[in-house]
Amino acid sequence: MAANKIYETPMLDELEKGPWPSFISGFKRLRDEHPDERINNVVSGLLGQLEHSYETRKGYWKGGTVSVFGYGGGIIPRFSEVGDAFPESKEFHTLRVQPPAGNYYTTDMLNQLADSWEKHGSGLVTFHGQTGNIMFIGTNTDGTQHFFDEINEYGWDLGGAGPCVRTAMCCVGSARCEQSCANEHGIQRWLVNNFTDDVHRPALPYKFKFKVSGCPNDCQNAIERSDFAVIGTWRDDMKVDQEEVKKFIEAKGRSYIIDNVITRCPTQALSLNDDDTLNVDNHNCVRCMHCLNVMTKALSPGDDKGVTILIGGKRTLKIGDLMGTVIVPFKKLETEEDYESLVELAEETIDFFAENALEHERTGEMIERIGLVNFLEGIGVEVDPNMVNNPRQCSYVRMDGWDEEAEKWFNRKAEEAAAS
Amino acid sequence: MAANKIYETPMLDELEKGPWPSFISGFKRLRDEHPDERINNVVSGLLGQLEHSYETRKGYWKGGTVSVFGYGGGIIPRFSEVGDAFPESKEFHTLRVQPPAGNYYTTDMLNQLADSWEKHGSGLVTFHGQTGNIMFIGTNTDGTQHFFDEINEYGWDLGGAGPCVRTAMCCVGSARCEQSCANEHGIQRWLVNNFTDDVHRPALPYKFKFKVSGCPNDCQNAIERSDFAVIGTWRDDMKVDQEEVKKFIEAKGRSYIIDNVITRCPTQALSLNDDDTLNVDNHNCVRCMHCLNVMTKALSPGDDKGVTILIGGKRTLKIGDLMGTVIVPFKKLETEEDYESLVELAEETIDFFAENALEHERTGEMIERIGLVNFLEGIGVEVDPNMVNNPRQCSYVRMDGWDEEAEKWFNRKAEEAAAS
Amino acid sequence: MALEDMRHPIESGCPDGFQYMHPTMRKNYGMWKFHEHPRPGVLRHVAHSGDEIWTVKAGTQRILDVYSLRKLTEIGDKFADGYVRFTIRSNIEYMVTDEAQVEPLIKALEEAGFVVGGTANSVAMISHTQGWLHCDIPGTDASGVVKSMMDELIDEFKECNMPNRVHITTSCCQINCGGQGDIAINVQHTKPPKINHDLVANICERPSVVARCPVAAIRPAMVNGKPSLEVDEKKCICCGACFPPCPPMQINDPENSKLSIWVGGNHSNARSKPTFQKLVASGVPNNPPRWPEATAIVKRILKEYKEGAKDWERINDWIDRIGWPRFFEVTGLPFTKYHIDNWRGARASLNASTHIRF
Amino acid sequence: MALEDMRHPIESGCPDGFQYMHPTMRKNYGMWKFHEHPRPGVLRHVAHSGDEIWTVKAGTQRILDVYSLRKLTEIGDKFADGYVRFTIRSNIEYMVTDEAQVEPLIKALEEAGFVVGGTANSVAMISHTQGWLHCDIPGTDASGVVKSMMDELIDEFKECNMPNRVHITTSCCQINCGGQGDIAINVQHTKPPKINHDLVANICERPSVVARCPVAAIRPAMVNGKPSLEVDEKKCICCGACFPPCPPMQINDPENSKLSIWVGGNHSNARSKPTFQKLVASGVPNNPPRWPEATAIVKRILKEYKEGAKDWERINDWIDRIGWPRFFEVTGLPFTKYHIDNWRGARASLNASTHIRF
Ligand code: SRM
Ligand code: SRM
Ligand code: SRM
Ligand code: SRM
Ligand code: SF4
Ligand code: SF4
Ligand code: SF4
Ligand code: SF4
Ligand code: SF4
Ligand code: SF4
Ligand code: SF4
Ligand code: SF4
């Protein structure tokens, strides 16, 4: 089949050249070869409007309100401002569908999703958007409902859009990575699936994102891009296989290990012994991962694993980019209770956020406005020196509660000592 | 002789104990042994009031207005709030007298100053206050005028107090220090003596301080404590006496130089060759001074000397401590013209400060408020990447003048290339 | 259709990934020992059990037509036991247990036009956003920018000859849905919004638009008799934050919406703590269909990084060592007053020392 | 005396130091080759000409009675060619050309009760301010605090067994005329000013007092019929900035004006860039005549620094390496919510990484 109307796309045609796979060629295949005329036309209109954008250097989509029955969010509605010129794609909504934790698929499932999408949508899909959703791009209001109804039956649910808890992400982690110190997949699902209502019915001051990385390499950019970052780490000594260290040195040479490992440790926690064994000052190691990254066979995380939690990462609006701040330096995640207390912390955080954030204010901006200490007190977390790079620099603070606060610290330390 | 009235000083007496020289014992000597009864009484009253402060943990001096004929500042007037109880010292003003650049004195001159001060003052003096003035502590209004008239005749002038250009400081530098890259004494006098009127007649928004250090060790705390810091440095390669390097290693051992010099360089600009000679990557050396400090015989500054100028250092009021910011990365100071242009820069800065600072606002606070770029444009200085630790992090800036600004840079670079 | 007939959603949320996970990964979950990097695009992970997973990574056009998707699944069926995953950079990963499967798999992918690589110290797939294709506020396109750049960087994707991973991101408006990156290509508007006063009253909730402005440059005003908004153009930083809540505040401009280039964003905790990206170039023309000017700057930076950096130095590590004055020197990019930060906390970015690079 | 009879000042400004400088220093000005540190309190500087200057440094009570001053000059005449200088820390330096002069000079100084030392990696003389002795706004004394501490630290002054120089400062109010330091003992008020409303009207220029407050906590108000000022005690950070311009804003309080201790202020550019000091302890009693509590904390910090730091590490360098969690651990000082900065730019002080010390 073919589209009723083919628009000239001289500029887009340029994007069919060059060795990298061309999305435009893909579009054209749908326009020219797909058996379903609906798809031929929708994509033809899309190409027409996109070419128009390229020529005028402007976008022509506007938002609106479209959702599926029972939900308030999960859809990014798009209506064309130039629908008269390109009527075929004048409605072009996107469904955000939550991927499985870790982004695994069987080819069968992908084909099944493709089948459903061909029935109701444009045939264009992205694995995944920057927040981790599968984005089924391009359908009209009816298609939105029908496609959702169909895939929802075989296990797929919408993700977040609008001021709500958003779709979460986690790295491949334990499934394939020796650096993993956490059950990323479990953490992601424990967290986000505890808030499905908040995902589907936007009612927060602004968006709230969870991201989970299995180790400090942070392959999910959790610190920079999420309100609630959970990152695996370990508390005991890292594991050193001295035989592998020697092999590494045999293979690469001493100066290589000195220049690429020893001298790159941010805290000088590494030294090389004369017998070509490695000495790790675990007390000063800050778990940055570098040496483990370089010597994947010789070095690995310790056994006493857990997670560090940081809150408040986001991008530019409205006060400039923010990274998350440590609010839990280390937390064990082994028992069911451990996971429940993690979820409780998330609930405390989101409740406090819901009550205290201004409209369209993210957690990080809220913390910036009210101060970290007020936030910590709000969610009932004790202060810890690991939360700061350094103590205060300015004497402008009222400290008449000093003695009580000092008391708290000494008591906590005493309890910890007693406990251990 | 002796004072008419001796006050009990049980608490102060405690400060006569212990091995460190006791100022209280000194006070008592003046009270009990000095031939001049005026001095016995003044110091007796002072001891009485000070004891009273120790007992009640409060101060009892208030300010006022006292100055010498023709000047508006230079005196710190003190009137006692408990003058009835301690009438002998109810007026206790301090004269701030400018020291010679570098703080040199002959014993004769010190004795002569002591003679004058015994005639008109309390006999208490400090070399020096934190801004560098000789502080002649304790006299009445008449004594103030007479003492000044006397010492002014043989070469001494008052320093600053109030919203004015303050007394300047410089390190011993060239007079006795191998690290010196500048004529500290000349710089201090060129600068501060160009502003004597502004020193003596407070008319600025707030105080303005010059400090000069001969090298980046900054023995005058110029970066932290002055509005206008001039610090010596060099532009060419540092000097390495490889023979001395070898001697150093013979004496101290290889690991000592590695642990204390090589690995301490902030930019890894040092490496030790197998023949125990030292290799310096002068391109990446940031002139921090550390290696020169450790190896005083082997390493010294280069020959192409000059100064770095930073503006805006100060202490706590009113927005927290500020350090100065680099506004001139490198400036030669050889010819008369060089010094004149340095003074011009200071004039530009003080004029801009006088016109743009709010009342009681320091240069650093002003720059914080208006932004460094506006300040630079105000004093006609071009931007340079050495002024920043890093370029901007936030995209919230209007940049529609980009092309012209880029043009400026390329032109400057072209001129520099042509010049060199 | 009447309400009662509507289907009620099953709020199943995030699906369990284990059901779709390769059995060998399921079996060795959390018990991996080490990995190697046999060749670009291929990873060999070995478990304590001795099991192995060979991963082959391929780059695609992120937005897949069902034909391309089916091509990828077909290859998965033939060569990879029917299991795949997608990375955060939208690359597809095939995981096989037998080294012998690797070469045929690579061959099939390349024949189908996909690009094997993007692992380790390569230039990773550029992560991008929606742009003109779908967003309602874009200043430029996304897929097109990335396609154009990847055409030029494809060798750096296929080979691993960078000092360390290079993570490039793009965003199509100043909201920056693309993350930060070792190199980021972002939109930078240079003129205040042109306000369509006739529409404001009907479309915009004025108080919340006023509240969105980071510099409080917007105030309510009556314009030719209608309630509208006014922008103090002296204050306005052209960030475009007022545009999403109020489309009549037209910020996008074919001429004056430019591109800017940022470097040094590093989110891993390896070596130094995570770092924000810093502005290096702006005023770059937004020039479809191939944005050659932006690509040229990116390539210039990559060239100097590749030559100047030590192994394992990310771009921020490299610049930390050589210093910013040197960065501008070697890349030939101009340093301007706009590089000097004046936003909150800018003071921390000023050089309060005599550490100077000569 | 009638105006015309008054003497007009000679505005000679800052005197030329050369007229008072030791001839050997004048001769070799700018031509010094190296220095050595033969023993604590003594420096040997050698010029390219081969000339030498031996410097002997001695600590004094900073505030000198003319007797002490004459004693110092007398020693200078007998043993040091009649030339002296004072350091920025108010130590006196005698400069001689002949090594033989050194020992007798030291002997004479010590017999006269002065303390030879304070060079190199010693605890330098504590720099202090005016305090109750002369200032109009002090919360504590200065000379007394320093005398008490130096009595306890005298061995560290006389010997050089610290990892590097230790520069201690004190200040007697929150204005902090004392500089920052490796260790700084400062005043910290803990209650808002008590306002003597009867006096405000006559003594204070109300608008400028209002303008002085860093947190805008002061507003003009009528109190029992008189124009006065009012402080919002919720906002007030007890900084005392309103007190100098308006003494009726009584900030000093025998009980509630406490001492706080700060560490890590380093102004040299050696190794790292200059650093600000950081709060470590507060609520320390302001306890004349000997302030034992403050001294005890200072000594505890010095003990750990001495044991824990590597050669050439200043206190900030040491803490950078071991981390703040460890600092609080080894010193036994409590970490409280007050240590977490909330002033401008505080964000830069938060840990935005997984770099954790275990
Ligand atoms: C005499 C004096 C300058 C003056 O004109 O008064 C001075 C003189 C020297 N300083 Fe200094 N510094 C003097 C105050 C300072 C200060 C300011 C202060 O004390 O408040 C600083 C910066 C303070 C800070 O960083 O907080 C200072 C930071 C240094 C450094 C850098 C130390 C470091 O590693 O951070 C050096 C280098 C070194 O120690 O080798 C240094 C080195 C030196 C040398 C060795 C330079 C030389 O080659 O002659 C001088 C001998 C010092 C000594 O007595 O051991 N001087 N030095 C000051 C003596 C003060 C005192 O009596 O104790
Ligand atoms: C597959 C993926 C996780 C996922 O669940 O999707 C992943 C997987 C691995 N990462 Fe990553 N990283 C992945 C995105 C990231 C990201 C996020 C991003 O790309 O936006 C980061 C942080 C980005 C940043 O810092 O800006 C990231 C920072 C690292 C690092 C730290 C590098 C450094 O030195 O700074 C390592 C360590 C290393 O390189 O050895 C690492 C190492 C690894 C290892 C080698 C871990 C392991 O032992 O298996 C994995 C193989 C990577 C490869 O293909 O070479 N991964 N890694 C992501 C692949 C993206 C892609 O297709 O290109
Ligand atoms: C689709 C996606 C880009 C992509 O192509 O991958 C996207 C697209 C939009 N983002 Fe985003 N953001 C997307 C990931 C992100 C990320 C990255 C992440 O989540 O890791 C960020 C930065 C991290 C963060 O949360 O700050 C991000 C920060 C924003 C912001 C600024 C938020 C802030 O606080 O600074 C906005 C503006 C807003 O929400 O008002 C925004 C708003 C939008 C809107 C809804 C624009 C709008 O207001 O209408 C875009 C809809 C485009 C469309 O038509 O589909 N998007 N957005 C990503 C979501 C796909 C998915 O669900 O998987
Ligand atoms: C005497 C001295 C302390 C000492 O005993 O050494 C001192 C004493 C006073 N200082 Fe200071 N300051 C002294 C050096 C400093 C320094 C150190 C320096 O100059 O290197 C600073 C920090 C650096 C700076 O300039 O910021 C300093 C920062 C202040 C400030 C806060 C300035 C600011 O912008 O933060 C004030 C308050 C004010 O000026 O309103 C102040 C005000 C005062 C006043 C005038 C208090 C007042 O407003 O009445 C004190 C008079 C005390 C008295 O009775 O003599 N003093 N003052 C120092 C001057 C002696 C001299 O002239 O040599
Ligand atoms: S974050 Fe760590 S655990 Fe997760 S994939 Fe990256 S390296 Fe592996
Ligand atoms: S993980 Fe990082 S901090 Fe720890 S030893 Fe290795 S390199 Fe050093
Ligand atoms: S600042 Fe430099 S030149 Fe001046 S005394 Fe100190 S070390 Fe010597
Ligand atoms: S002076 Fe400082 S930066 Fe330069 S080489 Fe020596 S240690 Fe390195
Ligand atoms: S970056 Fe801006 S334009 Fe691009 S998708 Fe995100 S919101 Fe839309
Ligand atoms: S563009 Fe940004 S700064 Fe300008 S008015 Fe709109 S929101 Fe304000
Ligand atoms: S610190 Fe305060 S009290 Fe002490 S001298 Fe300076 S201004 Fe006066
Ligand atoms: S003490 Fe400081 S904060 Fe409190 S009212 Fe006075 S100036 Fe303001």
Q: What is the pLDDT of residues C272-315, one digit of tens each?
A: 999 999 999 999 999 999 999 999 999 999 999 999 999 999 99
Question: How is A69-114 classified by DSSP, letter by letter?
Answer: TT-S-SEE--EETTTTTSGGGSB-EEEEEPPPTT-EEEHHHHHHHH
Position D5 scores a pLDDT of 77
What the block records as the tokens of B178 is 């191998």
Residue B181 CA: which ligand 7 atom is closest?
Answer: 3
Of D94, D122, D165, which is best to mutate to test ligand 1, by the most ligand atoms within 8 angstroms of its C-beta?
Answer: D165
Mean pLDDT across C248-255 = 96
Output the 3-class SS for C18-48.
HHHCCHHHHHCCCCEEEEEEEECCEEEEEEC
Query: Cis omega (within 30 of 0) on the bond before D334?
Result: no
- Sequence-distant (≥ 6) Cβ neighbours of residue A189 within 8 angstroms: A101, C13, C14, C16
Put simply, the answer to whether A30 touches C74 (Cβ < 8 Å) is: no
Percent of chain D surpassing pLDDT 90: 97
In the stretch 385-404 of chain B, residues with CB closer than 8 A to chain D read none
Q: Which of C273, C353, C355 sits opposite D353 (nearest CB)?
A: C273
Q: Which of B61, B149, B157 sits opposite D12 (nearest CB)?
A: B157
- Sequence-distant (≥ 6) Cβ neighbours of residue D306 within 8 angstroms: D161, D162, D163
Put simply, the answer to whether B393 touches A268 (Cβ < 8 Å) is: no
Check: CB of residue B137 under 8 Å from CB of residue D53. Answer: no
Give yes or no for residue C3 having a pLDDT over 70.
no
d(CA C53, CA B374): 59
Which amino acid, residue B243? E
- Residue B395, CB half-sphere, CA atoms under 13 Å: how many? 34
Query: Can you tell me whether residue A158 is helix, strand or coil?
Result: strand
Phi then psi for residue A54, to 5 deg, are -60, -40
Query: Cis omega (within 30 of 0) on the bond before D325?
Result: no
Optimal mutation site among D354, D356, D358, interface A, most CBs of chain A within 10 A: D354
Give yes or no for residue A420 having a pLDDT over 90.
no
Optimal mutation site among B90, B110, B200, interface D, most CBs of chain D within 10 A: B110
Put simply, the answer to whether D352 touches C274 (Cβ < 8 Å) is: yes
Question: How is D173-215 classified by DSSP, letter by letter?
Answer: STT--S---SEEEEEEE-SPPEE-HHHHHHH--HHHHHHH-TT
- Sequence-distant (≥ 6) Cβ neighbours of residue C73 within 8 angstroms: A107, A108, A110, A111, A114, C84
- Sequence-distant (≥ 6) Cβ neighbours of residue D229 within 8 angstroms: D195, D200, D204, D206, D209, D210, D218, D219, D220, D221, D242, D246, D249
Mean pLDDT across D228-242 = 97
Check: CB of residue C96 under 8 Å from CB of residue C102. Answer: yes
Optimal mutation site among A227, A399, A403, A413, interface D, most CBs of chain D within 10 A: A399
pLDDT digits (tens, 9 = 90+) for A368-393: 999 999 999 999 999 999 999 999 99
Ligand nearest to the CA of B287: 8
Which amino acid, residue D133? L
Nearest one of C88, C92, C53 to C178, comparing CA atoms: C88
The reply to whether A321 touches chain B by the CB within 8 Å rule is yes
Distance between B295 CA and the closest CA of chain C, angstroms: 19
The reply to whether A412 touches chain D by the CB within 8 Å rule is no
Query: A240: which strand partners?
Result: A299
Q: What angle do CA D6, D7, D13 make, to 5 degrees?
A: 140
Nearest one of B106, B319, B130, B156 to B211, comparing CA atoms: B130
d(CA C348, CA C64): 44
Of A260, A265, A293, which is best to mutate to test ligand 6, by the most ligand atoms within 8 angstroms of its C-beta?
Answer: A265
Q: Which of A136-140, A214-218, A317-321, C167-171 has the lowest mean pLDDT?
A: A317-321
Interface partners of chain B (CB pairs < 8 Å, 3 or more) are A, C, D
How many other CB atoms sit within 10 Å of the CB of residue B407? 13
What the block records as the tokens of B192 is 């501060």
B-chain CB neighbours of A394 within 8 Å are: 316, 320-321
Give yes or no for residue D347 having a pLDDT over 90.
yes
CA of D45 relative to ligand 7 center, distance in Å: 13
Phi then psi for residue A156, to 5 deg, are -110, 140
Distance between B66 CA and the closest CA of chain C, angstroms: 38
Q: Is B348 exposed, middle or buried (0-12, 13-18, 19+ CB in 10 A)?
A: middle
Put simply, the answer to whether C348 touches D348 (Cβ < 8 Å) is: yes
Which amino acid, residue B317? L
Position D82 scores a pLDDT of 98
D-chain CB neighbours of A325 within 8 Å are: 350-352
Select the more confidently predicted residue: B7 or C224: B7
The reply to whether A279 touches chain B by the CB within 8 Å rule is no
Query: C279: which strand partners?
Result: C262
Percent of chain A surpassing pLDDT 70: 100
Position D2 scores a pLDDT of 63
Position D179 scores a pLDDT of 94
Distance between D120 CA and the closest CA of chain A, angstroms: 26
Put simply, the answer to whether D95 touches B176 (Cβ < 8 Å) is: yes
End-to-end Cα spacing for chain D: 75
Give the H or E element holding residue D105.
Answer: helix D102-111
Which amino acid, residue D83? Y
Which amino acid, residue A363? T
- Residue A302, CB half-sphere, CA atoms under 13 Å: how many? 17
Mean pLDDT across D293-302 = 98
Ligand nearest to the CA of B98: 4
Distance between B75 CA and the closest CA of chain C, angstroms: 33
Longest Cα separation, chain C: 78
Nearest one of C236, C251, C35, C237 to C137, comparing CA atoms: C251
C-chain CB neighbours of A223 within 8 Å are: 267, 269, 274
Task: Give the predicted TM-score (pTM) of the model.
Answer: 0.96
Optimal mutation site among C347, C354, C355, C358, interface B, most CBs of chain B within 10 A: C354
Ligand nearest to the CA of C239: 10
Give yes or no for residue A83 having a pLDDT over 70.
yes
Distance between A374 CA and the closest CA of chain D, angstroms: 9
DSSP state for residue D112 in the 8-state scheme: T
Q: Establish whether residue D129 lines the binding site of ligand 11, counting it when its CB lies within 6 angstroms of any ligand atom.
A: yes
Optimal mutation site among C169, C284, C353, interface B, most CBs of chain B within 10 A: C353
B-chain CB neighbours of D62 within 8 Å are: 23, 126
Output the 3-class SS for D44-68.
EEEECCCCEEEEEEEECCCEEEHHH
Q: Which of B223, B268, B393 sits opposite C352 (nearest CB)?
A: B223
Q: Establish whether residue D179 lines the binding site of ligand 11, counting it when its CB lies within 6 angstroms of any ligand atom.
A: no
Q: State the Cα torsion D265-D268-D270-D273 to the nearest 10°.
A: 60
Position B420 scores a pLDDT of 81
Position A160 scores a pLDDT of 96
Give yes or no for residue C1 having a pLDDT over 60.
no
Q: Which of D214, D324, D326 sits opposite A390 (nearest CB)?
A: D324
CA of B59 relative to ligand 12 center, distance in Å: 19
Residue stretches of chain B with pLDDT short of 70: 1
Give yes or no for residue D1 having a pLDDT over 60.
no
Put simply, the answer to whether D349 touches A284 (Cβ < 8 Å) is: no
pLDDT digits (tens, 9 = 90+) for D130-158: 999 999 999 999 999 999 999 999 999 99
What the block records as the tokens of A324 is 């998350």
Mean pLDDT across A403-410 = 97
Nearest one of C355, D242, D239 to B315, comparing CA atoms: D239
Q: Which of A287, A313, A371 sits opposite D354 (nearest CB)?
A: A287
In the stretch 298-337 of chain B, residues with CB closer than 8 A to chain C read 308, 310, 313, 322-326, 329-330
pLDDT digits (tens, 9 = 90+) for B375-392: 999 999 999 999 999 999
Distance between D255 CA and the closest CA of chain B, angstroms: 8
What the block records as the tokens of B136 is 């002649």
Check: CB of residue B224 under 8 Å from CB of residue B323. Answer: yes
Q: Establish whether residue D80 lines the binding site of ligand 12, counting it when its CB lies within 6 angstroms of any ligand atom.
A: no
Put simply, the answer to whether D349 touches A391 (Cβ < 8 Å) is: yes
Sign of the dihedral defined by the CA atoms of residues A210, A213, A216, A218, in that order: negative
D-chain CB neighbours of B60 within 8 Å are: 132
Q: Establish whether residue D246 lines the binding site of ligand 12, counting it when its CB lies within 6 angstroms of any ligand atom.
A: no
d(CA A367, CA A373): 9
Q: Quickly state the pLDDT bin for D73 (edges 50, 70, 90).
A: very high
Protein residue whose Cα sits closest to atom 38 of ligand 1: B293
Query: Can you tell me whether residue B61 is helix, strand or coil?
Result: strand
A-chain CB neighbours of D231 within 8 Å are: none
Longest Cα separation, chain A: 81
Distance between C50 CA and the closest CA of chain A, angstroms: 13
